[in-house]
């Protein structure tokens, strides 16, 4: 049995990183999302990889939903180049809550502290049973390898259960990643830790 995925939240950086590899990978992810006709829910900005992913998804047919805190709702931040449904919220907490509620699955592409925080929060919510939506790392250029190693160490040392570790989808190919987001996975038991 497959899950029906109509919308996907993408967490990613407001920077493009060093070199062209990250930008090209972001374009590929956006193209793949758009070609599948998925809605994309993202931070609403045009800068960095987040803008590249959203722009390319929009060029290939995605409905784009940007969620911006009111303090960031300025012409130099918000998306300009593709038609975007823009939702303005009071603060970052409401931004994340709205993005989570609008999405059927979650992808963390390369990004900074904010991307890591969004990923770890939604992954924690999965562990606690607050949702049963799939969470994935887009591990392009091995970007997430250090975090994966930390999660593996936490599992080996008894701080993270095998079921929680196995719940995280890790892929470097966008089409494989999107295919895996439709997998029906065993629900995690709600527990604290």
| List of domains in the chain | 7-112+124-181 (3.40.50.450)
Q: What is the pLDDT of residue 191?
A: 55
Q: What is the pLDDT of residue 177?
A: 98
Question: Considering the chain, what is the average pLDDT of its residues?
Answer: 91
- Whether 147 shows a pLDDT value over 90: the answer reads yes
Q: What is the pLDDT of residue 37?
A: 95
Q: pLDDT digit string (tens) for 14-57? A: 898 898 999 999 999 999 999 999 999 998 878 889 999 999 99
Q: What is the pLDDT of residue 189?
A: 63
Q: What is the pLDDT of residue 173?
A: 98
Cα atoms in the 13 Å half-sphere on the side-chain side of 34: 19
Judged by DSSP in three states, 105 sits in: strand
- Whether 190 shows a pLDDT value over 60: the answer reads no
Q: Which residues of 76-114 are buried (b: 16+ CB within 10 A; e: fewer)?
A: ebbbeebebeebbbeeeeebbebbbebbbbbbbbbbeeb
Average pLDDT, integer, range 62-89 = 79
> Which distant-in-sequence residues (6+ apart) come within 8 Å of 90 by Cβ?
69, 70
First to last CA, the chain: 30
> Which distant-in-sequence residues (6+ apart) come within 8 Å of 169 by Cβ?
134, 135, 136, 137, 177, 180, 181, 183
Q: What is the DSSP letter of 61?
A: T
At residue 106, φ and ψ (nearest 5 deg) are: -135, 135
Q: What is the pLDDT of residue 160?
A: 96
């Amino acid at each position: 049995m497959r899950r029906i995925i109509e919308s996907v939240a993408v967490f990613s950086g407001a920077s493009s990183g060093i070199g062209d590899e990250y930008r090209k990978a972001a374009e590929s992810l956006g193209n793949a999302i758009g070609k599948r006709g998925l809605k994309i829910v993202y931070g609403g900005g045009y800068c960095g990889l987040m803008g590249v992913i959203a722009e390319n998804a929009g060029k290939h047919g995605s409905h784009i939903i940007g969620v911006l805190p009111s303090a960031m709702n300025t012409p130099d931040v918000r998306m300009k180049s593709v038609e975007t449904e823009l939702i303005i919220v009071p603060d970052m907490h409401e931004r994340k809550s709205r993005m989570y509620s609008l999405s059927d699955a979650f992808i963390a592409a390369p990004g900074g502290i904010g991307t890591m925080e969004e990923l770890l929060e939604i992954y924690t919510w999965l562990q606690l049973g607050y949702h049963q939506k799939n969470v994935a790392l887009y591990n392009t250029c091995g970007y997430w390898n250090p975090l994966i190693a930390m999660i593996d160490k936490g599992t080996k040392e008894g701080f993270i259960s095998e079921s929680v570790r196995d719940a995280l989808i890790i892929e470097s190919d966008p089409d494989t990643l999107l295919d895996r987001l439709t997998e029906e996975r065993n629900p995690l038991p709600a527990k604290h830790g």
